[in-house]
A = this chain, B = another copy of it.
């Protein structure tokens, strides 16, 4: 059994001695560093670090003290969590169910450190399946006419459940800027193409039309610019002229499941930093 650890993600303007000061601080307080990784974007002059350690003292006090160090003394942005944290996660989904089942099964098996708190859908299709998993299901139909109200209701529910992460397991509606501003936590989306190729609707059909020899899937943080958010994970699979759109859809499902799960896991393990619409992933 692993002892509980503190995981810190830092970023900010580069300055001499950051690695030394962070490592020195932990050492002085008799912490034991388990993992440390850093990155320096020398053009942008930004420094990024992920450090994970087992503290000697009270873990909550050390967590608070480190945040103090990082933000006050080092002037860095800091996200500091405990390895025992189980962030609350809400799922948004429409009718397509492979990512939905796959991600829920991963949470249930303990592969993903988080607690599922809600399934929000614009269709009733997955109500029974959600119930079978013992999760609350919120059906909020979305039409052209009611979109603003529907989103307001979604936000209300998501905030009430205390969701710290929203994951779109093939939710087929574009989220408005307002939704993203108000939801109060990051949103991870899985797009069924190798972005930036084939953004927007029906990417497998677009891929078929263009005659590409590889199809892909991309997990990214949703932003107000559709399919333009910071990319977290991508993968591809080989296709040939024999594969029509239904084959691409079928093959793509496996990509979507694994890429989506990887992005969610990285996020929940506090491995991702975003800057300049890109991600640093300390894997």
A contact residues vs B (CB 8 Å cutoff): 16-17, 19-21, 23-24, 26-27, 30, 32-34, 36-40, 43, 97-98, 101-102, 105, 109, 111, 132, 194-198, 210-214, 216, 230-236, 238, 240-242, 244, 250, 253-254, 258, 261, 276-281, 283
Contacts and interface: CB of A to CB of B under 8 A. Distances in A.
16 contacts: A19-B19, A19-B36, A20-B24, A24-B24, A43-B244, A102-B105, A194-B214, A195-B212, A196-B210, A197-B197, A214-B216, A214-B234, A238-B238, A240-B283, A241-B279, A254-B261
**Which are the 9 A-B pairs with shortest beta-carbon distances?**
A211-B278, A20-B23, A20-B27, A17-B27, A197-B197, A241-B280, A19-B23, A213-B234, A20-B24
Given A40-B34, A230-B211, A240 B23 contact: no
Nearest to A236: B236
Given A132-B132, A250-B111, A254-B258, A27 B32 contact: no
Contact of A234 (B36, B196, B212): B212
B32 A16 contact: yes
A230 to B, nearest CB: 6
Nearest to A278: B211
Contact of A236 (B17, B214, B254, B283): B214
B278 A241 contact: yes
Residue among A30, A253, A261, A276 with max Cβ neighbours from chain B (10 Å) = A253
Contact of A231 (B23, B211, B244): B211
A204 to B, nearest CB: 14
Contacts of A111: 250, 253
A31 to B, nearest CB: 9
A105 B109 contact: no
Contacts of A195: 197, 212
Contacts of A43: 244
Contacts of A238: 238
Given A210-B196, A210-B231, A242 B101 contact: no
A209 B41 CA distance: 12
A241 B97 CA distance: 32
Contacts of A258: 254, 258
Contact of A212 (B32, B97, B101, B231): B231
A111 B102 CA distance: 15
A281 B238 CA distance: 13
